[in-house]
């Protein structure tokens, strides 16, 4: 099975939803034995026009965006923090709002190195649990290298804005084609979609459902030109 997850590092429900999905996946795996479930993280930018580097606190961004007071913005954040705490996740509201394009490009590099999930987890922790400035290239590089990426490749990707840019755009187009206007957005076996950071049980049930109808139907076999234990069939020979 395969699960595609569209998310953004700046998205609190993606951070929380990742933990809920993983809990659902663990419950599914416990019931069904160790099934081969491949998770692929796909890019989605909530605010593609955000400046690359910024000192804008998220709380200021929120009060400007919603036209609410600082106190109201804090109350909104407190509700999200409660949800995070429910999953055992730290959540800081004194983090910085910024552009996530470079982070998504690095996540595609990480995919090639099979450390994508680790890097996304590290980005979430750095942003939400530690309020670290991800726009700082030194901070970003430190996190990427700690997650298992070669420092020279990280430097190359950060220096070239075109590196993995197509991959980020392709993910975003794919989300649009699926009708996903928000994140997190989960797609199981390219068949079942789940929008939002739903409870773990929703993910478990969706995985069960995809698993139940996951058997492969053989469309063509029979007189096949095929090689096997017994050698290679030469139909009509």
- Binding residues vs a second copy (CB under 8 A): 1-2, 8, 10-14, 16-17, 36, 46, 62, 65-66, 76, 79-80, 83, 112-114, 170, 174, 178-179, 181-185, 187, 189-198, 202, 206, 209, 214, 216-221, 224-229, 231-234, 237
The CB-of-16 to a second copy minimum distance in angstroms stands at 7
The CB-of-161 to a second copy minimum distance in angstroms stands at 20
Q: How many residues does the structure list for the chain?
A: 237
Structure tokens at 100: 């996530």
Residue closer to a second copy (CB basis): 142 or 208: 208
The CB-of-205 to a second copy minimum distance in angstroms stands at 8
Peptide bond into 184 cis (omega under 30): yes
Residue closer to a second copy (CB basis): 146 or 233: 233
Residue closer to a second copy (CB basis): 121 or 193: 193
The CB-of-4 to a second copy minimum distance in angstroms stands at 10
The CB-of-138 to a second copy minimum distance in angstroms stands at 27
User: Would you say 131 and 94 are in contact if contact means Cβ atoms under 8 Å apart?
Assistant: yes
Residue closer to a second copy (CB basis): 23 or 170: 170
Residue closer to a second copy (CB basis): 12 or 98: 12
Residue closer to a second copy (CB basis): 67 or 138: 67
Q: Where are the beta strands (DSSP E) in 54-159?
A: none
The CB-of-40 to a second copy minimum distance in angstroms stands at 10
- Hey, what long-range contacts does 60-67 have (CB within 8 A, 24 or more apart)? 60/97, 61/97
Burial category of 94 from C-beta neighbours within 10 Å (exposed 0-12, middle 13-18, buried 19 and up): exposed
> Which residues, in sequence order, are CB contacts of 132 under 8 Å at separation 6+?
126, 139, 143
| C-alpha closest to that of 214 among 204, 224, 222, 206 | 206
């Amino acid at each position: 099975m395969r699960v595609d997850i569209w998310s953004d590092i700046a998205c609190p429900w993606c951070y929380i939803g990742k933990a809920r999905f993983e809990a659902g996946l663990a419950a599914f795996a416990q019931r069904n034995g160790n099934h081969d479930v491949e998770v692929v993280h796909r890019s989605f930018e909530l605010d593609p026009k955000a400046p690359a580097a910024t000192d804008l606190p998220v709380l200021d961004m929120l009060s400007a965006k919603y036209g609410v007071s600082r106190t109201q913005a804090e109350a909104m954040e407190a509700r999200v923090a409660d949800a995070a705490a429910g999953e055992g996740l730290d959540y800081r509201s004194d983090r910085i709002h910024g552009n996530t394009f470079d982070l998504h490009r690095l996540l595609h590099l990480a995919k090639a190195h099979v450390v994508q999930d680790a890097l996304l987890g590290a980005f979430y922790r750095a942003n939400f649990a530690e309020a670290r400035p991800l726009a700082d290239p030194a901070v970003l590089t430190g996190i990427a290298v700690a997650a298992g990426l070669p420092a020279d490749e990280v430097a190359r990707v950060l220096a070239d804005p075109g590196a993995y840019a197509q991959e980020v755009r392709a993910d975003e187009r794919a989300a649009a084609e699926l009708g996903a206007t928000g994140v997190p957005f989960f797609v199981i076996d390219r068949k079942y979609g789940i929008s939002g950071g739903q409870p773990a049980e929703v993910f478990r049930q969706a995985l069960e459902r995809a698993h139940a109808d996951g058997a492969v139907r053989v469309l063509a076999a029979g007189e096949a030109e095929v090689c096997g234990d017994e050698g290679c069939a030469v139909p009509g020979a």
